[in-house]
């Protein structure tokens, strides 16, 4: 189905003047027509932005009605004034939308250590409030307003049949400074299903572990990382539980996985999205650790950038992951082609494997162990000279 907002939500994205380029939207507003249950998962960096502190203090909640997002300035490392500015952003939204200030959550992303130009932010909130609508164009504008170095907006949605039809729609931003847990990324997921605060909080945490905590570009955890879930119950069904809740949760994970994959797929300077799968681990934690170690290896990432099926880099990265396994039972496939079987390399057509990597932006790495039944999947990008250029030019 087309990307669309769940019932009861409206969105807008405008240019407020925070960014120097007037062709790039930089302020977004999302509003529910009724109080929503809200939950959040936040950066684990001890150095965090003022909006993260504000949202942490306000979630979980059963009374949130709006989220305001600015891009260009992160409002991080800005001291007490930054806290006041985050509160002022929430207050301004409350004023124009006739809400209580505590019903508003705030997200900011961009350059750290700079103060928000609050006159521009407040004017932008006025402009966004006047443009609120429930159409696809407004949703896309809101998704564009949260972008920084992203090359494309990131939106996905699902509709499922429970007691009533229920929609889940998510939007995200992120392209670099990406490394679990989460990293320089923001995401807001909205649903018209009815959830309790406990199930929203637990469900979002589980979905994030399956998705946003399984991506990496450069391993750098940011100050602003936030994933929010809003559930306003506008679809009209009962509070979800039992099999209905399980079906909703599975779909929430799908939405989060779609958004999570879109972030490294848009990685700065990246020419490949790499999916690392580990099967046969003793535990899921073991499988995740091995997959993450492979995904974070600069040598693996540069090999993929060069379309080089260098199995030695992949297998050796698994070996230094810190997880014990029998190396004589390890097998490896790249793009579905067997390169290594039960501890030894096999004869394969290197040129054909290289061509398969060159011909497709998506590269699949599958490592097979023989320690148990646990599996894990992790997404990352290759490492190119363009990534280095972009990040030497970007002011931090």
DSSP structure class, residue 214: G
Q: How many helices (H) and strands (E) does the chain have?
A: 11, 15
Q: CB neighbours (10 Å) of residue 369?
A: 23
The two tokens of residue 221 are: 């955890």
Of the candidates 77, 87, 86, the residue with the CA atom closest to the CA atom of residue 112: 77
Contact 141, 25 (CB under 8 A): yes
CA angle 85, 90, 91 (to 5 degrees): 90
Contact 15, 26 (CB under 8 A): yes
Cα 381 off chain centre by: 14
Of the candidates 81, 78, 99, the residue with the CA atom closest to the CA atom of residue 30: 99
Report cis status (omega within 30 of 0) of the bond before 181: yes
Contact 190, 169 (CB under 8 A): yes
43, 109, 148, 184: the catalytic one is 184
Give residues with Cβ within 8 angstroms of 69, minimum separation 6: 27, 28, 29, 30, 106, 107, 108, 109, 142, 145, 146, 186, 188
Of the candidates 263, 204, 190, the residue with the CA atom closest to the CA atom of residue 28: 190
Q: How far is CA 140 from CA 68, 120, 172, 209, in A?
A: 15, 22, 11, 26
Catalytic-residue membership of 184: yes
Active site residues per annotation: 184
């Amino acid at each position: 189905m087309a990307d669309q907002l769940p019932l009861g939500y409206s969105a807008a994205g405008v240019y407020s003047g925070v960014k120097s380029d007037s062709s790039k939207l930089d302020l977004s507003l999302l509003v529910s027509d009724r109080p929503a249950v809200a939950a959040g998962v936040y950066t684990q960096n001890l150095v965090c932005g003022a909006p993260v502190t504000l949202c942490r203090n306000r979630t979980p909640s059963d009374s949130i009605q709006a989220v305001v997002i600015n891009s260009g300035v992160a409002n991080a490392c800005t001291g007490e004034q930054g806290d006041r500015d985050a509160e002022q952003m929430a207050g301004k939204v409350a004023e124009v939308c006739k809400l209580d200030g505590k019903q508003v959550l705030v997200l900011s992303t961009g350059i750290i250590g700079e103060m928000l130009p609050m006159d521009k932010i407040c004017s932008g909130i006025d402009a966004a409030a006047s443009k609120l609508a429930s159409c696809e164009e407004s949703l896309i504008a809101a998704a564009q307003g949260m972008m920084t170095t992203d090359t494309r907006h990131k939106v996905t949605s699902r509709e499922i049949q429970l007691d009533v039809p229920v929609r889940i729609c998510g939007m995200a931003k992120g392209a670099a400074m990406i490394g679990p847990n989460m990293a320089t990324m923001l995401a807001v997921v909205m649903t018209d299903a009815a959830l309790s605060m406990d199930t929203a909080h637990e469900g979002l945490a589980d979905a994030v572990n399956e998705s946003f905590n399984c991506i990496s570009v450069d391993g750098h955890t940011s100050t602003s990382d936030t994933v929010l879930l809003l559930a306003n119950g506008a679809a009209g069904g009962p509070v979800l539980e039992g099999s209905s809740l399980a079906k909703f949760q599975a779909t929430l994970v799908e939405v989060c996985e779609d958004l999570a994959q879109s972030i490294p797929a848009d990685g700065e300077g990246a020419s490949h999205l790499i999916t690392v799968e580990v099967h046969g681990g003793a535990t899921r934690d073991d499988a995740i650790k091995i997959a993450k170690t492979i995904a974070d290896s600069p040598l693996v990432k540069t090999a993929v950038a060069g379309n080089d099926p260098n199995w030695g880099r992949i297998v050796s990265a698994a070996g230094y992951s810190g997880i014990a396994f029998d190396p004589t039972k390890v097998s490896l496939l790249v793009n579905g082609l067997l390169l290594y079987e039960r501890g030894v390399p096999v004869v394969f057509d290197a040129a054909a494997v290289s061509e398969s990597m060159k011909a497709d932006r998506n590269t699949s790495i599958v490592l097979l162990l023989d320690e148990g039944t646990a599996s894990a999947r992790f997404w990352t990008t290759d490492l190119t000279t363009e990534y280095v250029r972009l990040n030497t030019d970007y002011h931090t």
